Amino acid sequence: MIRDPEHEKMSRKQLEKLQLERLQARVKDVYEKVPFYRRVFKGKGVTPDDIKTMADLKKLPFTSKIDFRDNYPYGLMTVPLEKVVRIHSSSGTTGKPIIAPYTEADVDMWSEVMARTLASAGMTRHDVMQNAYGYGLFTGGLGFHYGCERLGATVIPTGGGNTKRQILLMQDLGTTVITCTPTYALILNETAKEMGVDLRETKLRLGIHGAEPWSEQMRKDIEERIGISAINVYGLTEVIGPGVSVECEHKNGMHIWEDHFLVEIINPATGEQLPYGQEGELVITTLTKEAQPVIRFRTRDITKLIPETCKCGRTMVRMARITGRSDDMLVVRGVNVFPSQIENVLLEVEGVEPHYLIVVDRHDAFSTEDLEIWVEVSEAVFSDEMQKMEKLEKKLRAEMDSVLGISARIKLVEPRTIARTEGKARRVVDRKDLKNSGLITK
């Protein structure tokens, strides 16, 4: 269902007019109120008056996670703290966390884009949504929660974890929609099976999954095992949380809510803007966020934009599945490798489970000489004879060689060796951290 046809089906001309007005207002706002922006604008010799058309966007400086760290905690806000009604945060990988403050108007806008998101995914007010995204500082829990209430559907705020209780509630309360990371969807299914419950026989019909990279193969797996339609949803703390983009029933790229989020794709090495269809780093400018707008924020997420109007009738540009992050790309003996490529191979080979770990011996921040992939095999194969295991290992090695262009060692491990997480899965670990990483169970 299209919740807001006036915006979701806008013509490009109308949309660009709206975007330009909103961009000009935002740029003026940050320039006048945030010393950091004034400084970096001046560094590039640009003032708000220089933004006359959409093509002028590229005159503005980029921002990145580092700017959030340098201005931690409140240095990027355009409003005094008393106008802030909520603060979320993401842990980040190193150093200070990222802070995301919201005014009342921001929470309202977020609820609205999330309601649009859920409607696009196929939810209606008759659904019962079990929300297994983490509540708390993470934006997933409350983002989905407010969106569901705004849509008028029923939310069960389970949060992540306590998996057995999740299954019981699902059965008792007639849950029709599950919202969680794709990894957690598989864990729910594993636990249900252990409890003798077949999720395909429950009322579950839809899963809305995101917050971490996943693949088409993983979607197929979730859909078949759980008996649902699985929809991809994208977002990030710095921009708003979930609700930046989502697929519709055609599952052909995620519709970006462009009246709120202005997107570009750039070459991550040069910063140059790339045309529609070309893969590169996604850059987002918030057009309506009040407390802490972002200007040309470099997400580090690698994707491409799909401009054609979708069969659903929405005109807004779509983004393809994220294929990797420009900062978690591994460089193995000079070759670029993304964890998503490895995942794709694993999901296509019979006898292995979609649980894996990439163990590297790092020389510096990115580059590594040695790649070892730990792969969990299914119960059936594990209890089989040695010969079968050897054959499987050989097959995986050959597939990896041909897809990645480099050779990797494959280590087959028994079922449940790799720790399950309720939130985002971590796939790459340095060998020296492996023991204390909590990523393996034995």
**Contact residues for ligand DLL, defined by CB under 6 A:** 90, 133, 139-140, 210-213, 232-237, 241-242, 299, 301, 322, 325
Report the C-alpha gap between 257 and 314 in whole angstroms.
Answer: 10
- How many CB atoms are located within 10 Å of the residue 66 CB? 10
CB of 301 to ligand DLL, least distance (A): 5
- 14: Cα within 13 Å, side-chain hemisphere: 8
Which H or E element spans position 243?
strand 241-246
Nearer to ligand DLL, 176 or 237 (CB): 237
CB of 125 to ligand DLL, least distance (A): 21
CB of 322 to ligand DLL, least distance (A): 4
CB of 266 to ligand DLL, least distance (A): 15
Nearer to ligand DLL, 242 or 268 (CB): 242
Question: Residue 204, class by beta-carbon neighbours within 10 Å (0-12 exposed, 13-18 middle, 19+ buried)?
Answer: buried
Nearer to ligand DLL, 48 or 235 (CB): 235
Which H or E element spans position 265?
strand 261-266
CB of 31 to ligand DLL, least distance (A): 26
Nearer to ligand DLL, 27 or 342 (CB): 342
CB of 59 to ligand DLL, least distance (A): 25
Coil/strand/helix, residue 152: coil
Question: 3-state SS of 203-218?
Answer: CCCEEEEECCCCCHHH
Report the C-alpha gap between 121 and 128 in whole angstroms.
Answer: 14
CB of 239 to ligand DLL, least distance (A): 8
Report the C-alpha gap between 256 and 279 in whole angstroms.
Answer: 16
**Backbone φ and ψ of 27, nearest 5°:** -65, -40
CB of 237 to ligand DLL, least distance (A): 3
Nearer to ligand DLL, 37 or 133 (CB): 133
**Backbone φ and ψ of 226, nearest 5°:** -100, -20
Question: Residue 233, class by beta-carbon neighbours within 10 Å (0-12 exposed, 13-18 middle, 19+ buried)?
Answer: buried
CB of 318 to ligand DLL, least distance (A): 13
CB of 242 to ligand DLL, least distance (A): 4
The Cα angle at residue 137 between residues 169 and 125, in degrees rounded to 5: 45
Nearer to ligand DLL, 29 or 149 (CB): 149
Nearer to ligand DLL, 197 or 211 (CB): 211
List of E strands, 288-379:
297-303, 305-306, 318-319, 324-325, 330-332, 335-337, 352-362, 367-377
Report the C-alpha gap between 41 and 43 in whole angstroms.
Answer: 5
Residue (of 371, 382, 386, 389) closest to 429 by Cα position: 371
CB of 314 to ligand DLL, least distance (A): 18
Residue (of 221, 213, 169) closest to 190 by Cα position: 221
Kind of pairing, strands 241-246 and 229-236? antiparallel
End-to-end CA gap in the chain: 47
Peptide bond into 73 cis (omega under 30): yes
Nearer to ligand DLL, 285 or 417 (CB): 285
Nearer to ligand DLL, 56 or 212 (CB): 212
Nearer to ligand DLL, 211 or 396 (CB): 211
CB of 235 to ligand DLL, least distance (A): 4
Nearer to ligand DLL, 57 or 322 (CB): 322
Report the C-alpha gap between 208 and 203 in whole angstroms.
Answer: 15
Nearer to ligand DLL, 381 or 422 (CB): 422
